[in-house]
């Protein structure tokens, strides 16, 4: 009996151990599967991070060169202008040769009315600004921002030396476009004297928001210019219509004068003929003419007109 109990207990323990082993094996396989999935997700995230880093590096390299800065900065600048409702050829032009010969060719020129233009440059370097944004070290960020300010000063000095205002004198200076408002604010915070330094050189630093204000003013000025041109055209057409109407009235008045003179002469002719008829009538009676002289016929369309007569029976000509 005791051996049966022991055997039964051994079997139960063996079954419990087998179930525990199966349970722990499933937990192990699940944990391994989850670990593999997490490792795959980490690798995918690392791959995306490497792609983003490579794209950022290409962006930095592009903005490190003048041609790259011009291409990308001009693209952002033109897209910003179009998003504000400005139309190329009407409100702005791209790569306009102001002086001839390529000596003054800003990235964009705003037309603000009256033949005045605003040059806009978009070749400011953003590579150091990107480094300042990426780093977590406060000292490195501060140094990168100082270099960012130096780059802005260097570019502003180049623009001031080109003298765009000689050909585009709407603001007697140049708008220096930076594709990030944060980069502009960070530069101003890093160097409080930067703004006055730029204004002394007639260089106006602005990001997309500041450019939106300038572009909106240009759009308003262009609209006002279009309305003024329309008003001038309407006034010109009204003046031409007035001159045509005056000429037509003068022609009618001249015709009326000639017609009145003709009617007056016709009336005198008829009166003279009537007097002649009256003078000839006794002769006709003395000659025993079988038939009397016919009366002088006055046409109704000539006598029906109410023509004012002068002191000698002549029609008075009208004014004009």
What confidence tens digit (pLDDT) does each residue in 179-194 have?
Answer: 888 888 888 888 899 8
Residue 175 has pLDDT above 60, yes or no: yes
pLDDT of residue 303: 47
Q: What confidence tens digit (pLDDT) does each residue in 235-292 have?
A: 777 777 777 888 888 888 888 888 888 888 878 887 777 777 777 777 666 666 556 6
Instruction: Return d(Cα 230, Cα 224) in angstroms, integer.
Output: 10
Give the domain ranges of the chain.
67-228
pLDDT level of residue 313 (50, 70, 90 thresholds) = very low
Q: Is the pTM of this model over 0.75?
A: no
Helix (H, G, I), strand (E, B) or coil at 144: helix
pLDDT level of residue 319 (50, 70, 90 thresholds) = very low
Over the chain, what is the mean pLDDT? 75
What interhelical angle do 66-83 and 2-64 show, nearest 10? 100
Instruction: Return d(Cα 206, Cα 315) in angstroms, integer.
Output: 81
Instruction: Return d(Cα 208, Cα 99) in angstroms, integer.
Output: 27
């Amino acid at each position: 009996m005791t051996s049966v109990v022991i055997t039964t207990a051994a079997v139960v323990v063996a079954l419990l151990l087998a179930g525990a082993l199966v349970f722990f094996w499933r937990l192990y396989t699940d944990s391994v599967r989850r670990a593999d999935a997490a490792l795959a997700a980490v690798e995918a995230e690392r791959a995306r991070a490497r792609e983003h880093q490579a794209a950022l590096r290409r962006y930095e390299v592009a903005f490190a060169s003048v041609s790259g800065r011009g291409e990308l900065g001009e693209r952002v600048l033109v897209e910003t202008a179009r998003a504000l409702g400005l139309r190329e050829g009407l409100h702005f032009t791209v790569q306009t040769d102001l002086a001839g010969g390529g000596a003054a060719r800003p990235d964009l020129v705003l037309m603000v009315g009256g033949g005045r233009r605003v040059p806009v440059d978009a070749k400011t370097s953003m590579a150091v600004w990107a480094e300042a944004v990426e780093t977590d070290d406060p000292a490195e960020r501060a140094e990168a921002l100082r270099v960012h300010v130096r780059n802005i000063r260097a570019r502003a000095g180049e623009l001031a030396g080109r003298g765009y205002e000689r050909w585009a004198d709407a603001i007697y200076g140049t708008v220096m476009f930076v594709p990030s408002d944060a980069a502009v604010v960070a530069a101003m915070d890093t160097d409080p004297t930067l703004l006055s330094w730029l204004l002394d050189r007639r260089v106006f630093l602005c990001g997309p928001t500041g450019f939106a204000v300038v572009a909106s003013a240009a759009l308003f000025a262009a609209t006002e210019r279009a309305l003024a041109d329309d008003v001038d055209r309407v006034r010109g057409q009204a003046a031409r219509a007035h001159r045509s109407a005056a000429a037509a009235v003068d022609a009618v008045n001249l015709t009326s004068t000639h017609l009145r003179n003709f009617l007056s002469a016709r009336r005198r002719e008829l009166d003279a003929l009537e007097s002649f008829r009256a003078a000839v009538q006794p002769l006709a009676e003395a000659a025993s003419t079988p038939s009397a002289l016919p009366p002088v016929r006055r046409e109704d369309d000539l006598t029906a007109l109410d023509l004012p007569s002068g002191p000698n029976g002549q029609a008075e000509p009208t004014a004009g």
